[in-house]
């Protein structure tokens, strides 16, 4: 796989992609893209495509030909009709992890069903306009209080069915082996091979 521009500056996400894909990933700021992208899609797919198209347009305007990878992912809680979903990063405020977690716990107080899943939708946009998609889900439930060492997003509240522990209690390797992002990347690679 060639060098890929990732439509993100999220250091945690960049590291995850590097570990799983084992290829050269360039965050969008390294190519000079510093604009905020308005994610006004109604689905994970729409938002990931919006991000990929914005960065791809920027590259083309500069005569650069790179594949662009974008993802939109989030936590979907069954008892909350799929919330926070596409609003996961700003559920309780503007990209405030602790506020997001507190709102989630508050909204689940009277709900016996705490089952949930993380969803990831990846879009790889090639310079010729070809779109390859990857989808991944990982299932578990929401704990009543924080667990583990990491305060990243919802990891300390999400108990993974496959791992038998919270994501924040897992090693990066364990998490990547079952994570929604890891599964979406595997799905993307399968779909890429079908197109080649």
Which residues are known to be catalytic? 72
3-state SS, one letter per residue, for 24-59: CEEEHHHHCCCCCCCCCCCCHHHHHHHHHHHHHHHH
* Separation of alpha carbons 36 and 34, rounded Å: 7
CA dist., res. 72 & res. 60, Å (int): 22
Three-state SS for 69? strand
Tell which residue, 110, 100, 115, has the closest CA to residue 159. 115
Task: Give the contacts of 11 (CB within 8 A, at least 6 positions apart).
Answer: none
CB atoms inside a 10 Å sphere around CB 35: 10
Rounded Cα–Cα distance for residues 116 and 112 (Å): 12
């Amino acid at each position: 796989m060639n060098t890929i521009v990732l439509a993100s500056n999220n250091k945690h996400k960049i590291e995850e992609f590097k570990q799983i894909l084992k290829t050269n990933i360039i965050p969008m700021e390294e190519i000079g893209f510093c604009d905020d992208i308005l994610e006004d899609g109604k689905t994970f797919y729409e938002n990931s495509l919006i991000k990929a198209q914005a960065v791809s347009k920027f590259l083309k305007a500069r005569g650069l030909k790179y594949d662009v990878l974008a993802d939109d992912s989030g936590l979907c809680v069954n008892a909350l009709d799929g919330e926070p979903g596409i609003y996961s990063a700003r559920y309780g405020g503007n990209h405030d992890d602790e506020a997001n977690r507190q709102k989630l716990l508050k909204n689940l107080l009277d709900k016996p069903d705490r089952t949930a899943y993380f969803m990831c939708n990846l879009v790889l946009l090639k310079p010729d306009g070809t779109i390859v998609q990857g989808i991944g889900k990982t299932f578990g439930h929401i704990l009543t209080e924080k667990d583990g060492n990491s305060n990243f997003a919802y990891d300390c509240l999400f108990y993974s069915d496959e791992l038998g522990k919270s994501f924040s209690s897992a090693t990066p390797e364990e998490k990547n082996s079952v994570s929604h992002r890891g599964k979406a990347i595997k799905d993307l690679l399968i779909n890429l091979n079908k197109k080649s």
